Structure 1
Amino acid sequence: MTVAESVNATKVRYAAADALALLDGIDTLIATKGKKVETFDLKDARPDDDELLARLMGPTGNLRAPAARIGRTLVVGFNEEVYARVLK
């Protein structure tokens, strides 16, 4: 496994169950939408599936793009500052 893996959500479709499965082995979820950034600590207090799906899924019912697994962190959505921080 590489340090950083990405999923092209425009080409690979992920339904709700598939999106939740991406969280296996993930300690931190960072969900971004524009300048709004939400960080979830999944190893200590995992939110319920509905709350996670609200951050993972886009309006079309598929995984939001871009989505990248970086180590034990999953970043969903694009925010330049977040990517700069997690890719250091």
Structure 2
Amino acid sequence: MTELFAGATTVVAAKGKKVTVIQMNKDENAAELLEANALGPTGNLRAPTIRIGKRWLIGFNEDEYGKAIS
């Protein structure tokens, strides 16, 4: 899965009100954080998932989407 996010600098994964921000180049355990937060219970990528430049938003959190599009 890390190949999909190879060019990403930041991945913001939301599960309900919980938001996890993963700094792909800085977090030593980025691959594990990505797998734990980006995949749903069926093993598929959570929806919605969008890429804005080098930033990815996974799952839905109104505040994070507001920050990303403003």
TM-score (structure 2 length as normaliser): 0.87
- Among all aligned residue pairs of Structure 1 and Structure 2, give the percentage whose two residues are the same amino acid: 40
Given the superposition, is the C-alpha separation of residues 58 and 44 from structure 1 closer, same or farther in structure 2, using an over 3 Å criterion? same
Q: For CA contacts below 8 A with separation 6 or more, give which structure has more relative contact order.
A: 1
- Divergent runs of 4+, >2 A: 48-51
How far, CA to CA, are the matches of 2:21 and 2:46 in structure 1?
16
Note if contact 1:68-1:74 (Cα within 8 Å) is conserved in structure 2: yes
- Name the Cα RMSD after superposition: 1.4
The gaps in structure 1 that reach 5 residues or longer are 1-18
User: Which of the two has higher C-alpha Rg?
Assistant: 1
The gaps in structure 2 that reach 5 residues or longer are none
Alignment length, in residue pairs?
70
TM-score (structure 1 length as normaliser): 0.71
How far, CA to CA, are the matches of 2:57 and 2:28 in structure 1?
16
